[in-house]
Structure 1
Amino acid sequence: MIYIYNDYGGTHSTALAAAYHLKQLPQSERTLTSEEILNVKYFNKLTKKDFGKLIFHGNDEDGNSVYSIGRKRNKLVVPALKELILLLQKNYNFNEKIVFSNTSPTVPLAMTFGGFFSRGLKIDSIGVPLLVKGAKQCCDNIYRLVENTKNIGKTPFKENVIILENKMYK
């Protein structure tokens, strides 16, 4: 199975989701420390050239691959990937189950502005503190989103490509 976490930039909420999924962060809903957030492998590290690229984060305890992708404002990226996967399944005997999970609903305003200042304007002195504040605000929601994503991944479905738009997890 392949899990692909997606959002606008692919370097904040998706990086945290992948880290939770891979048990690189504490497996609880507690607020993360600044150090834990800043030590997540791809957190605030990706740039414009990484948009649209599948970033491999690792394999989980069940051997499933975990990826992320930054799709910008383009809502067609994930449906296009789904169509490609369905084509591969139909014509080339590709039978891997794939779960796309949108982390955007978890992103608070502080993280949005932090990403804009840090990644967009290259002003880390303003952006990084906002990103950390935002990550602390949403880490419990991201943790619950990941748990839900993993549970859905373990559920049998007729189709092998699942797209989760998600919602705020309270």
Structure 2
Amino acid sequence: MIYLYDDYAGTHSTALAAAYHLKKLPMDRQLTKEEILNVDYFNQLTKADFGKIFFHGVDEDGNSVYTIGRKRNKLVIPALENLCLLLQDAYHQHEKIIFSNTSPTVPLAMTLGGFFSRGLGIDFIGVPLLVLGAKQCCKDIVQVVEYTKQIGKSTDKKVVVLENKTFK
């Protein structure tokens, strides 16, 4: 199975989701600043990375975990979904693919932090806001990851797209 977490930039909530999914972060408490800032790809991607798919690792069940930043483009995930279905049918593949949107978990502090840090390059304002936002949303991201894994294990569909809108 393949899990792909998506959001606007692919460098904040998706990076945290991938780290939680891979058990690189504790799920039972609020994260420290150091834990947040040491997450792979957290606040490290640039505008040139939009649309690129990043591999984060393999989970305890042997499933690959990826992330993507789709910007505001609502067509990226449906296009990837259709491409996956086409390739699965053409090549008789049976690998399930689960797309999971982490955007609904993102609080205002993280949005502003990403804008200042990644958008404007003003880290002394952006990074503290990103850390605050990550602390605010970590429980929601854990819930998204748990739900995503549950759907992955229980569905028979080849490709599933989870919007996760209940987290706002």
Q: If the length of structure 2 is used for normalisation, what is the TM-score?
A: 0.97
Structure 1 residues without counterparts, runs of 5 or longer: none
Corresponding residue of 1:4: 4
Q: Give the distance between the partners of 1:39 and 1:168, measured in 2 at CA.
A: 28
Q: Distance in 1 between matches of 2:109 and 2:166?
A: 16
The CA deviation string for residues 77-133 of structure 1, in whole angstroms up to 9 with x for no partner, is 000001101111111112210000000000000000000000000000000000000
The 5 Å alignment of 1:60-99 reads: 60-99=59-98
**Where does residue 112 of structure 1 map in the other structure?**
111
Q: Distance in 1 between matches of 2:93 and 2:70?
A: 24
Using the alignment, how far apart are the partners of 1:33 and 1:167 within structure 2?
Answer: 27
| 4+ long deviations beyond 4 Å | none
Q: Secondary structure at the match of 1:16?
A: helix
The CA distance in 2 between the partners of 1:156 and 1:17, in whole Å, is 20
Count the aligned residue pairs: 168
1:135 alignment counterpart: 134
Letter in structure 1 aligned against 2:41: Y
Q: How big is each residue's C-alpha offset from its partner over 1:1-27, in whole Å with a ceiling of 9 and x where there is no partner?
A: 000000000000000000000000002
**Contact 1:21–1:60 (CA under 8 A) maintained in structure 2:** yes
* C-alpha separation in 2, matches of 1:44 and 1:168: 25
Q: Name the Cα RMSD after superposition.
A: 1.1
Contact 1:106-1:168 within 8 A present in 2 as well = no
- Structure 2: which 5+ runs fail to align? none
CA distance in 2, matches of 1:125, 1:89: 46
Q: How does 1:130-169 map to 2 (within 5 A)?
A: 130-157=129-156, 159-169=157-167
Matched residue, 1:121:
120
